[in-house]
Amino acid sequence: MLSRLFGCFILQLNRIRLFAGLPLDAVSGGSVNHFRAISAGLKALKLLGLEGVELPIWWGVVEHESMGKYNWSGYLTIAEMVRKAGLKLNVTLCFHASSQPKIPLPEWVLDIGKTKSNIFFKDRAGKPYRGCLSLAVDELAVLNGKTPMEVYQDFCESFKSAFSAFIGSTITGITMGLGPDGELRYPSHRGFAKSDTVPGAGEFQCYDKNMLHLLKQHAEACGKPKWGLGGPHNAPAYSELPTANTFFKDHGGSWESPYGDFFLSWYSSQLIAHGDRLLSLASSVFSDSAVNIFGKVPLMHSWHGTRSHPSELTAGFYNTATRKGYEEVAEMFARNSCKIILPGMDQSDKYQLKESLSSPESLLAEIGTACKKYGVGISGQNSTVGAPDGLKQIKKNMLSENLNDSFIFQRIGAQFFAPEHFPLFIEFVGKLNQPELHSGNLPTKEGTTTATDSVHTRSNLSIHMQSA
């Protein structure tokens, strides 16, 4: 009864459903960590009127020991807790590793990687990235005679049968892990981004044996065998500025040359094909379940102000000042009837380092436009690093057209419930429902769209969602 009253009072989130992410390490081994904290947290979130929670399920936890041996027990416990709390659940199937907290890939996969390091992405220096498998092995039988795609499929099917009691009722969304940090991208940046340093251009990741092989084949097919011997020689290294070498030069850089187009088209198409494989796998496995399938697309907003968009290019998005690269991505999501999760909705242009020519807002708008064109729903997330005035920016995005499905707030834990944060969150939730009171803070254009068109759009989408 209390919650009902409260719901009338604070919450009218019928337009954008609000989720909060559960801790990354909610389960380790077979058991739930911080059980009491999560159950108290779930109740609090329910009282606040949130739609549900997001739960990361790790490949490295469930299929930890050996191939095909799944341990879902901890996650089942949480699903039951969520159901009892009256919340919805969006699960994320994480086929990647986490560095903080440390959750590696399954041990048996790492073991295989010890002798076959080419199952991982490699950079120019030959350093492997152990956070996920290289997309080039998707369909190679490198995992004890099975292809990674088959292993992912087995995982999804096991999940489906283990959670059959929840899918479609408590579980309303499934996010398919697509790469590093679950995102559809190459691991073009390694290590942690530093908030106070200008990020580099990132590096192309086409140097594992299998990627090189694919590149070579492609080059030969194009009649340019010499182009297939390696990645661009004049691309800068990870943390170097794009200007450190000539590939990304704003004018006359190699990215604009026929070779650049050859390489970038190939590099990005490999990534999109990989996304397509995984999302169509998920769509087919869960085709008979009433759930939405999501995939996460990163917001590579550094250097967006240059013509070549180096961060996007190295991450695998062939999106430049002269090419709308996200349309192919949106088209691929549309083809699989999947929705896009976009992180970084708390980032605003004015808090970016000027030197990095970064523009999260305009990139978000670009992706938003591409999604709109193909009718792909967008669910938002905040970035894990946090941002000044982040809640304000999230609210702004939630009230704009950048977002039309749901928002997943990352992530509950000590900091989330801390006295310096939680009241702000309550306030944020409260204000979401009263945009008109604060439209003064917003550009007038957005103020008006909020009141009319976008409400309309969203209601359409929510119908679509319910029928899905």
Partner 1 sequence: MAAVTIDSLLQNPSLLFRPKAKVLLKPPRSLDCSRNRKLPLSRGSCLCSFNPRRTIHVVRASSSETALIGNFDTSSSDDILYKDIFPVKRIEKVEGKFFIRLDRSKDQHDWQLTVGCSLPGKWILHWGVSYLGDGGSEWDQPPKGMRPPGSIPIKDYAIETPLKKLSEGDIFHEVKIDFNPISEIAAIHFVLKDEETGAWYQHRGMDFKVPLVDYLEDDGNTVGAKRGFGVWSGAVTGQYRIMSQVAYFLVIYRIPSEPTLGDVGALQQFSNVLLKSEASHAGSQNNSIESKDSKNKNRYLEGFYEEQSIVKEVSVGNLVSVAVRKSPETGKVIVCLETDIPGDVVVHWGVCRDDAKIWEIPAAPYPPETTVFKNKALRTLLQPKATGNRSGALFTLDEEHFGFLFVLKLDDNTWLKFKENDFYVPLLGTSNVPGQYGQSDSTSEEISSKSYTDGIINEIRNLVSGLSSEKSQKTKTKEVQESILQEIEQLAAEAYSIFRSSITTVPEEVVSETETTKPAVKISSGTGTGFEILCQGFNWESHKSRRWYMELKEKASEISSLGFTVIWLPPPTESVSPEGYMPKDLYNLNSRYGTIDELKELVKSLHEVGMKVLGDVVLNHRCAHFKNQNGVWNIFGGRLNWDDRAVVADDPHFQGRGNKSSGDNFHAAPNIDHSQEFVRKDLKEWLGWLREEIGYDGWRLDFVRGFWGGYVKDYLEASEPYFAVGEYWDSLSYTYGEMDHNQDSHRQRIVDWINATNGTAGAFDVTTKGILHSALERCEYWRLSDQKGKPPGVVGWWPSRAVTFIENHDTGSTQGHWRFPGGKEMQGYAYILTHPGTPAVFYDHIFSHHRSEIANLISVRNRNGIHCRSLVKIVKAERDVYAAIIDEKVAMKIGPGYYEPPSGSQRWSLALEGRDYKEGCRPSLIILFASAIVVPFFTQKYVGVID
Contacting partner 1 within 106-145 (CB under 8 A): 110, 114-118, 125-128
The amino acid at residue 334 is A
Q: Tell me the closest approach of the beta carbon of residue 362 to partner 1, in angstroms.
A: 23
**Subset of 397-456 contacting partner 1 (CB under 8 A):** 412-420, 422-424, 426-427, 430, 434, 437
The residue count for binding partner 1 (CB under 8 A) is: 74
Q: Which is nearer to partner 1, 43 or 372 (CB)?
A: 43
Q: Which is nearer to partner 1, 70 or 227 (CB)?
A: 227
Tell me how crowded residue 306 is: count the other CB atoms within 10 A of its CB. 21
> At which residue do the structure tokens 């399954």 appear?
106
Segment interacting with partner 1 (CB under 8 A) among 59-67, 154-162, 187-195, 271-279 = 187-195
**Subset of 378-397 contacting partner 1 (CB under 8 A):** 385-386, 388-389, 391-392
Report CA 219 to chain centroid distance, whole Å.
31
**Subset of 43-72 contacting partner 1 (CB under 8 A):** 43-44, 47-48
Strands (E), 41-188: 52-58, 88-94, 120-122, 128-133, 171-176
User: x/- binding map, residues 205-244, to partner 1, per CB under 8 A?
Assistant: ----x----------------xx-xxxxxx-xxxxx---x
Cα atoms found within 13 Å of the Cα of residue 19, Cβ hemisphere only? 28
Cα atoms found within 13 Å of the Cα of residue 154, Cβ hemisphere only? 14
Query: Rg for the chain (alpha carbons), in Å?
Result: 22
Tell me: cis bond preceding 277? Omega within 30 of 0 counts.
Answer: no
What element of type H or E holds 461?
helix 453-467
Q: Tell me the closest approach of the beta carbon of residue 425 to partner 1, in angstroms.
A: 9
- Measure the CA–CA gap between 400 and 16, rounded to whole angstroms: 11
Using CB under 8 A as the binding rule, whether residue 86 contacts partner 1 is answered as no
Q: Which is nearer to partner 1, 257 or 362 (CB)?
A: 257
Q: Tell me the closest approach of the beta carbon of residue 152 to partner 1, in angstroms.
A: 23
Bridge-based pairing of strands 292-296 and 120-122 is: unpaired
Tell me how crowded residue 74 is: count the other CB atoms within 10 A of its CB. 20
Q: Which is nearer to partner 1, 212 or 297 (CB)?
A: 212
Asked whether 307 and 322 are in contact (CB, 8 A), the reply is yes
User: x/- binding map, residues 7-36, to partner 1, per CB under 8 A?
Assistant: -xxx------------x---------xx-x
Q: Which is nearer to partner 1, 96 or 339 (CB)?
A: 96
Show the tokens assigned to 264: 């970038």
